[in-house]
Amino acid sequence: MPENTSILDGPRPLPFVGNLPEFARDQKTHRVLERWADEYGLTYRFRLGRQEVVATADPAHVDVLLRRRPDDFRRAVRSSTIIDEIVPRGVFTAEGDRWRRLRKVATQSLNAAYLRQYFTTITMVTERLLRQWEAAAGSGARVDVLDLMMRYTLDVTVGLAMGHDLNALESTGDGLHTRVKQLFPAISRRINAALPYWRYAKLPQDRRLDATVREIEALVGERFAAARVRVAAGDPPSNFLEALVRPLENEPEITDEEVFGNVLAMLLGGEDTTSSTAAWALHYLAENPDIHAKVRAEADEVLGEQRLPGDPGTVGRLKYAEAVVNEVLRFQPVAPFLLLEPTSDVTLTGRDGSELFAPKGLPIFVLMSYGARRDTERFGDPDVFRPERWLEGKLPPEALPFAPFGAGPRYCPGRNLALIEAAMVTSVLGREFDFEPDHSAGAVVERMEFTTFPTNLNLRVRTRAATATR
Ligand code: HEM
């Protein structure tokens, strides 16, 4: 007979608010969830307000929850509804047959064949990034690493998604790049809000948010019209929007709302996640000169006279840079958990064989990367940042308990693109510049606003040649 969730241990809830105060404190939700798993076991329960929720890092549960989608589990209704209220419904929040259709579109346009075409955009934006760092090295200015990485991934994603050169990297002052940054914090603020006030009265911040979404919508509409013209003229698709013009085999034509929803899903899925990963990678190079030296030696060997990799295959040969990125994803996963719920009553079997009854609609926090920081057998010295562990042939990449891109049918379709961007940035910047951590604004601290990211990540940079001649 499966046990009810009432047998689970968990932190003691306060009246009315439950465990919300501790959960939402310090923008470190993921660390609170991990600490509770340390204290109360791999599967535990707690309360957010009056809502009973469960969290699990049990690999057997995590595996079933991630794989049996969309039929048996879905993204939690509450968070999906909040996201859908902000941006139109895209692949991330879609469920059932609608998801199946949008997913096909998303994976097709992000597949390896298109990535080869997209590579020119990636290298063009990387050239621009190098120029920014050269300027900082010349002037001695402090580099706000996360800000530059966000501009970089935004330029890449907008370029790939819409064939539009936003040039956030070289823009000064306010622009779409500053406004897009509001999207994740806004989603996070609303998910953690005690009351859905915005459904009754909008604050200035909500109106600004609506205006940003309308601005992106207008840009997508304009670019989609241009995409239709190009494709009608017989040109092969060169960006995500152009790939969307032709309907998929046996599928109806995609609607304008779906086009917009999927482009926004790419922007949201691709920007903060990849920028945070790349920023952390540069942080670990700055903190670990021996690791930095190895990245540089590899880049010298693989790239030779070339400043940038000429094709995705060359990025694939930057194995050490990729190992640094994998270690970042283990150490500082940008999406450390997902919030799912059963679509009907279900019994889950844990790795110890125990059975747990989970009723339809029970919110379940799925901790996908907890084990990778706790499993001493597979990840010896898990608290040490050691990229070499990924090159020793002992770790199956991305098998539980390490699933930074999720798993199963909803696995991140942008993984390859993200790895190319992050490994490229780590390798080419690591090769050309020396880094010195700048803690004048405070220590580097991680935060979580829907995804995790570093704050106060500042560096002083010098060109390698300048250092060598000193
Ligand atoms: C380091 C970078 C990235 C990380 C760690 C990451 C992680 C994730 C995770 C954990 C999920 C949820 C998977 C699941 O439900 O099982 C996801 C979904 C998704 N990601 Fe990524 N992602 C990254 C980069 C990207 C990029 C570059 C794009 C596109 C340009 C992208 C687009 C998406 C989309 C569209 C989904 C929704 C898939 C679905 O619901 O079927 N991601 N990502």
- pLDDT tens-digit map of 64-118: 999 999 999 999 998 899 888 888 778 999 999 989 988 988 887 777 666 777 8
Q: Identify the residue with better confidence: 55 or 7.
A: 55
Closest listed residue to residue 52, CA positions, set 81, 91, 13, 83: 13
* Strand-pair partners of 55: 44, 365
Find out whether the beta carbon of 102 lies less than 6 Å from any atom of ligand 1: no
Decide: 265 in ligand 1 pocket, CB within 6 A: yes
Share of the chain above pLDDT 70, in %: 95
Question: Is the pLDDT higher at 237 or at 75?
Answer: 75
Check residues 315 and 265 and name the one with the higher pLDDT.
Answer: 315
CA of 418 to the centre of ligand 1 (A): 9
User: Are 426 and 278 within 8 A, CB to CB?
Assistant: yes
Q: What structural domains does the chain harbor?
A: 1-85+336-368 (no CATH), 87-335+369-402+404-469 (1.10.630.10)
Q: Is there an atom of ligand 1 within 6 Å of 152 CB?
A: no
Task: Indicate which residue's Cα is closest to atom 12 of ligand 1.
Answer: 406
Ligand 1 contacts CB of residue 40 (under 6 A): no
User: What is the distance between the alpha carbons of residues 267 and 87, in angstroms, rounded to a whole number?
Assistant: 11
278 vs 419: CA distance, rounded Å: 9
Most confident of 124-128, 352-356, 376-380: 124-128
Going 406 to 411 to 412 to 414, the CA torsion angle's sign is positive
Q: What tens digit of pLDDT does each residue of 20-36 get?
A: 989 888 788 999 999 99
pLDDT of residue 369: 87
For residue 399, the model assigns a pLDDT of: 66
Residue 401: cis peptide before it, omega within 30 degrees of 0: yes
336 lines ligand 1 (CB under 6 A): no
For residues 260-289, give the mean pLDDT. Answer: 92
Which among 103, 49, 47, 50 is positioned nearest to 75, based on CA atoms? 103
- Straight-line distance from the first to the last Cα atom of the chain, in angstroms, rounded to the nearest whole number: 73
Quote the pLDDT of residue 254: 76
CA dist., res. 271 & res. 459, Å (int): 21
Does residue 468 register a pLDDT over 80?
no
Distance CA(446)–CA(181), nearest Å, equals 17
Neighbours of 313 (CB within 10 A): 10
Instruction: State whether the beta carbon of 209 lies less than 6 angstroms from ligand 1.
Output: no
Q: How far is CA 62 from CA 115, 227, 328, 351, in A?
A: 30, 40, 21, 10
Is the C-beta atom of 93 inside 6 A of ligand 1? Answer: no
Who wins on pLDDT, 357 or 236?
Answer: 357
139 C-alpha vs ligand 1 centroid, how far in Å? 37
Q: For the segment 359-382, what is each residue's pLDDT rounded down to a tens digit?
A: 999 999 999 989 888 888 888 889
Q: Which of 251, 236, 268, 391 is nearest to 327 (CA)?
A: 391
The ligand 1 atom nearest the CA atom of 94: 40
Q: Provide the angle, in degrees to the nearest 10, between the axes of the packed helices 183-191 and 256-287.
A: 100
Mean pLDDT of 440-455: 91
pLDDT for position 156? 92
Mean pLDDT of 147-167: 89
Whether residue 131 has pLDDT greater than 60: yes
Residue 56 has pLDDT above 70, yes or no: yes
Pocket test for ligand 1, best of 97, 412, 421 (most atoms within 8 A of CB): 412
HSE, CB side, 13 Å, CA atoms: give it for residue 212.
22
How far apart are the C-alpha atoms of 159 and 115, rounded to whole Å?
12
Buried b / exposed e along 356-389 (16+ C-beta atoms within 10 A): bbbeeebbbbbbbbbbbbbeeebbeebeebbbeb
Query: What is the distance in A from the centroid of ligand 1 to the CA of 408?
Result: 12
Q: Give the Å distance between the CA of 108 and the centre of ligand 1.
A: 14
Q: For residue 92, which atom of ligand 1 is closest to its CA?
A: 40
- The 10s digit of each residue's pLDDT in 179-188 is 887 787 888 7
Q: Is there an atom of ligand 1 within 6 Å of 89 CB?
A: no
Nearest CA to ligand 1 atom 24: 270
Where residue 405 falls among pLDDT bands split at 50, 70, 90?
Answer: very high
Rounded to two decimals, the pTM is 0.93
Q: For residue 270, how far is its CA from the centre of ligand 1 (angstroms)?
A: 7
Tokens found for residue 256: 């304008």
- In short, whether 276's Cβ falls inside 6 Å of ligand 1 is no
For ligand 1, atom 7, name the residue with the nearest CA.
405
Q: What average pLDDT does the structure give for the chain?
A: 89
Q: What is d(CA 239, CA 115) in angstroms, rounded to the nearest whole number?
A: 10
Does 467 have pLDDT greater than 60? Answer: no
Ligand 1 center to 181 CA (angstroms): 17
Q: What is the pLDDT at residue 96? A: 93
Backbone φ and ψ of 460, nearest 5°: -100, 135
Q: CB-based contacts of 82: which residues, under 8 Å, 6+ apart? A: 187, 190, 191, 196
Q: What is the dihedral of CA 90, 94, 98, 101, to 10 degrees?
A: 60
Measured from the CA of 161, which atom of ligand 1 is nearest? 30
Place of tokens 């494709």: 231
Summarize the confidence of residues 277-306 as an average pLDDT.
Answer: 97
Whole-number pLDDT of residue 247: 65
Tell me what the mean pLDDT of segment 129-134 comes to.
95
Which two three-digit tokens encode residue 138? 């010349």
Mean pLDDT score, 163-172: 87
Return the bridge partners of 46, or none. Answer: 53
Structure tokens at 77: 């209704």
Tally the C-alpha atoms within 13 A of residue 96's C-alpha that lie toward its C-beta: 1
Least confident of 91-100, 196-205, 252-261, 304-313: 252-261
**282 CA to middle of ligand 1, Å?**
21
The vertex-59 CA angle with 352 and 65, nearest 5°, equals 110
Residue 172 pLDDT grade (very low, low, confident, very high; cuts 50, 70, 90): confident
